[in-house]
Amino acid sequence: MLSERWPLIIAGAAAFLGMTVLHYLCEWRVLTSIPHLGSEIGDVKKRRMAYIWGAPRLYGKGYKKRQLRHRRVSQVSQRAPETPLPDNVGSLQAALLEIVKAKHTNLSFENGMEIARIIKADLNPALVRLNPIIAEEVNEAFRRELQIGDDWTEFNCHGKVLGNISMISGKVVVGPELCHNEECLDAFIKYTTEVMTAPEDMLQWLMEAHLKPGKVDGIVCIEKLQFGLSFAAIHTGSLFTTKHALAESGGNFTSQALQKMKKLDNFLRETARVTPQGFTSFHRKLLKTITLSSGQVLPAGSKIEIPTISPNFDNDVFANSEKFDAFQYSRAREVALHEKGARAAGATAATQFISVSPTNLVFGYGRHACPGRFFAVNEIKIIVANVLLKSDVKNADPDAGRLPNVEFASMYTSDGTKSLLFRNIQLCPSSEGPAPTTAPSHADPRSVPKADQIASLVLQQFFSLPKKRKPAIRDTGVHEWTPLSSIVAERAGELRCLSIATGMKCLPAAKLKEASGNGLHDWHAEILAIRAFNHYLLSEAVKLSQSTGENGESFILQWATPADREAVSQPFTIRNDVKLYMYSSEAPCKNLYLPQSSSATSRTSLILIVSPPVQGGDASMELTMSAQEDPTPWVVPTSSDQGGAVPSASPSQLPGRQYFSNLGIVRRKPSRPDAPPTLSKSCSDKLALAQATSLLSSLASLLINPANAYLSALILPQPAYVPGAFQRCFSDRMGKVRNATWEGGYRFRPLNPLTTSVEFNFSKREVTARSGGKIAPCNVSAVWGTHSLEEGLVSGVIQGRKAFQERAASALSRRRLWELAVDAAGLLGEEGENIREALRGESYGSVKENGLLKARRRVKEAVWEEALKGWAKNAGDEGFTLGNNT
């Protein structure tokens, strides 16, 4: 019977085979009408090899011929047309299953939409709370995985990064126990790498999602979702982190702090543009045959994709697209800030790494854009920032340059066989030799500009202060800003931050008599930083005096030599090899306040210019003027303008906020037009005077020789510095005393400008950009210094204490510094008797008039007479006493 049926069976099989071949040939005929990329290369095998080792170039050719709306590409496996279609035409899930060869790897994306929903609904809103937890886990991962010392140590970064990211992501995905479990970590890493060659919060979210009616139930489903989440976190994070690194921020890794890392964000986005993880995106598998608008038929089962790398190198989209331009998005952001309303907000947001747009397809686009990008980007930033804040990094081969990426088919990845050298960060030149002279990498601290080193050191110290010492966001949504200043010393290549301070206010003249030595007259950041430096010096004098003989050790202070003591009376001197720097986040104040849209007090600057000053005018207040609708400088009004009542334009009578067309005059602190008058001079005028008198106060000058106590440089952020204005303030008007020397070790020491690219997160520029202009000055001043100095001040006294009471006196007040000087002098031997006698004055004023300070007074009088004319003393708080100063 069977033999009788063989002809029928054979005929049926032949018919089936014929129909199959015919179907294939028909489908092939449909696809052959689509132009083939690389057809000139040769047969399918050659085209596939060209794709494996040169996919970007093939995609680039097709993109340049984009008037032909679709192309075929011979990929590693099978034919696949590429066409720019909306992402909802085909199946994303089916395409992903085919990409990862789900039949063989047993990977499943059946719950992909559920994972996306959980990420959007639970993980992303919780990042504000989770970011500090992630940062804590980063520190732990670095401690466990990268045991870095002061000597260079070699690490295979690819493996270390994978391990760190799996541990860090696991802290949120699977909890604190399993994220440190070696078997679990190994499973997560292999689950990711072999396919692709809040502690309990995430687990709770997963379980809650699957306990709801209608949801798939069971531990197996939750396990699959956890592996899926780990897969996304490790794959997305590791490839970016091992490519480029740049950070210039410190402190706690809150969501707010991460948002402020704009340059790091821009750098990472540019890295993703030039070396993306993949060359294509929007993978879809057609579940049914479709016809394009051109008439081209795409049969069911075809895979489609978009070449996302090609627009990245399109000069119509990115100017000079072949060049790595780390901060092009920062420039675009600055332009966007000049827009108004929602348009400005949208344009600013579009420059962020996590944004999705036709020009940033790293995370996809549209409704299927990667929902976990917020978590991934935060994780990347925290890891990169930790590397750069804690470690120096360089190639094992110093001549190798940047390690090349591994390019395979449609993917970029780092070379897992390569290693880098790490050591603890050193902010000063090492003993390995002189700094390189040819285009060094900034991974080597010797190549980092001195100003950037100093600024970074200062910011690191500031961010270590308690949260209560820093500006905040008020309940009304107003963002606070504050200026920051610091004194940094350098000796034998080592930098040390000696004092930092914030603040921008001063005491009205009418309140001086009430201060009684307990209230500060001027708590602008620069002045507080200098007073904190004097506190440091007097404390060092106490330390040296308490040591055995002259064997005490101080970083910058030493006992004066016998030869020094023959010329001057002070027992201490600053070491000859010490250099002193001042960092300031804002240009030192000078001149007036101009009315702006906000009613808040404005700290204005001398070092800004927008339009040329009027003939004979001053370059001061130019920053403030640039913000006005009409930037023309105000001039001194005539009598006809004021009905005959005109204030005198003589320098001694000029208020701080008017008549700035006059050149080279001494000014008082800027303030609101309705603020009570003050006699405190502007910070720029005080710094100009310090070029002659040094940084030492009168009290410190009794004990310390001023010869080496001068600033070497003033470090300002680049936007706050204008050379011409700096020249006029600190050099031109000081011309008559520029080469002067005086008795007592005094001489004119010109102040040199240095600029830094490092920005303070709470500067007025940064806060304005971040808040859209809804800003106000911070009322709290922070003070820090060595010798356990750390205070918060409000209105010139310790925060929370009643004004001008003795218990409210800051360590930087006249009273407390006088007491500290008395303590230091009391520890001196017989040679200190004349200093002790001077400090026993009946009042603070009598101490300052003592004969030991005569040389200092003469220096000030000479400068006031020849350069800073019109200087009016801020008198009224000299009568207080310490009692029995013995």
Q: What is the pLDDT of residues 4-24, one digit of tens each?
A: 655 665 555 555 555 554 555
Q: What is the pLDDT of residue 668?
A: 58
Which of 216-225, 581-590, 593-602, 801-810 has the weakest average pLDDT? 593-602
Question: How many Å apart are CA 9 and CA 628, to the nearest integer?
Answer: 93
Whether 392 shows a pLDDT value over 90: the answer reads no
Highest mean pLDDT among 164-173, 198-207, 712-721: 712-721
Question: How many Å apart are CA 581 and CA 579, to the nearest integer?
Answer: 7
Give the pLDDT mean for 480-509. 95
Question: How many Å apart are CA 35 and CA 46, to the nearest integer?
Answer: 17
- Where do the H-state alpha helices sit in 572-682? 622-626
DSSP state of 747: B
Phi, psi for residue 775 in degrees, rounded to 5: -130, 165
Q: What is the pLDDT of residue 609?
A: 26
Which residues is 798 bridged to in the sheet?
793
Question: How many Å apart are CA 369 and CA 380, to the nearest integer?
Answer: 18
In sequence order, which residues have a C-beta less than 8 Å from that of residue 221 and are 6 or more positions away? 111, 210
More confident residue, 872 or 55: 872
Q: What is the pLDDT of residue 378?
A: 76
Q: Any known ligand binding at 26?
A: no
Query: Cβ of 402: how many Cβ atoms within 10 Å?
Result: 9
Q: What is the pLDDT of residue 91?
A: 66
Q: Are 698 and 524 in contact (CB under 8 A)?
A: no
More confident residue, 683 or 187: 683
Structure tokens at 365: 């686009």
The CA-to-CA distance between both ends of the chain, in Å, stands at: 130
Q: What is the pLDDT of residues 633-677, one digit of tens each?
A: 444 444 444 344 433 334 445 445 455 445 456 765 555 555 677
More confident residue, 456 or 381: 456
Which of 81-95, 121-135, 213-227 has the weakest average pLDDT? 213-227
Q: What is the pLDDT of residue 651?
A: 41
- Where do the H-state alpha helices sit in 100-253? 102-105, 112-118, 127-145, 157-173, 182-196, 201-211, 219-241
Q: What is the pLDDT of residue 622?
A: 46
Q: What is the pLDDT of residues 404-438, one digit of tens each?
A: 776 666 666 667 677 778 887 765 433 333 333 33
Q: pTM for this structure?
A: 0.52
Q: What residue type is 356 in one-letter code?
A: V
Q: Where are the domains of the chain?
A: 1-32, 110-284+367-424, 454-589+694-824
Whether 81 shows a pLDDT value over 60: the answer reads no
Q: What is the pLDDT of residue 17?
A: 56
Q: What residue type is 559 in one-letter code?
A: W
Q: What is the pLDDT of residue 796?
A: 95
Geometric angle at alpha carbon 235, from 282 and 128, rounded to 5°? 95
Question: How many Å apart are CA 820 and CA 697, to the nearest integer?
Answer: 13
Q: Give the whole-number percent of the chain exceeding pLDDT 70.
A: 53
Q: What is the pLDDT of residue 423?
A: 81
Give the pLDDT mean for 856-877. 90
Task: Indicate the class that CATH gives domain 110-284+367-424.
Answer: mainly alpha
Give me the residue label for tokens 């306990």.
211
More confident residue, 528 or 106: 528
Whether 871 shows a pLDDT value over 90: the answer reads no
Which H helix or E strand runs over 756?
strand 752-756
507, 557, 565, 506: which is closest to 536 by C-alpha? 557
Mean pLDDT (the chain, rounded): 71
Furthest-apart CA pair in the chain: how many Å? 134
Give the pLDDT mean for 823-841. 93
Q: What is the pLDDT of residue 299?
A: 79
More confident residue, 137 or 870: 870
Highest mean pLDDT among 334-348, 669-683, 709-723: 709-723
Give the pLDDT mean for 157-176. 58
Whether 502 shows a pLDDT value over 90: the answer reads yes
Q: What is the pLDDT of residue 638?
A: 45
Structure tokens at 708: 């080496």
Whether 799 shows a pLDDT value over 80: the answer reads yes
Q: What is the pLDDT of residue 203?
A: 40
User: Following DSSP, what letter does each residue of 497-529 receive, concatenated?
Assistant: EEEEEE---B--GGGHHHHTTTS-SB--HHHHH
Whether 165 shows a pLDDT value over 80: the answer reads no
Q: What residue type is 123 in one-letter code?
A: L
Banded model confidence at residue 625, pLDDT cuts 50, 70, 90: very low
Give me the residue label for tokens 């500009």.
449
Q: Are strands 303-306 and 281-285 parallel, antiparallel or unpaired?
A: antiparallel
More confident residue, 351 or 674: 351
Q: Tell me how far the alpha carbon of residue 646 is from its chain's centroid.
A: 48
Q: Are 345 and 772 in contact (CB under 8 A)?
A: yes
Q: What is the pLDDT of residues 764-791, one digit of tens each?
A: 988 988 887 789 999 999 999 988 899 9
Q: What is the pLDDT of residue 700?
A: 97
Which of 464-468, 592-596, 806-810 has the weakest average pLDDT? 592-596
Whether 597 shows a pLDDT value over 90: the answer reads no
Give the pLDDT mean for 534-552. 83
Whether 679 shows a pLDDT value over 60: the answer reads yes
More confident residue, 294 or 272: 272
Q: What is the pLDDT of residue 70?
A: 52
Q: What is the pLDDT of residue 825?
A: 95
In sequence order, which residues have a C-beta less than 8 Å from that of residue 9 and are 6 or more positions away? none
Q: Tell me how far the alpha carbon of residue 667 is from its chain's centroid.
A: 33
Banded model confidence at residue 373, pLDDT cuts 50, 70, 90: confident
Highest mean pLDDT among 118-127, 443-452, 693-702, 731-740: 693-702
Highest mean pLDDT among 88-97, 303-312, 335-344: 303-312
Q: Are 336 and 344 in contact (CB under 8 A)?
A: yes
Which of 169-183, 351-365, 436-450 has the weakest average pLDDT? 436-450
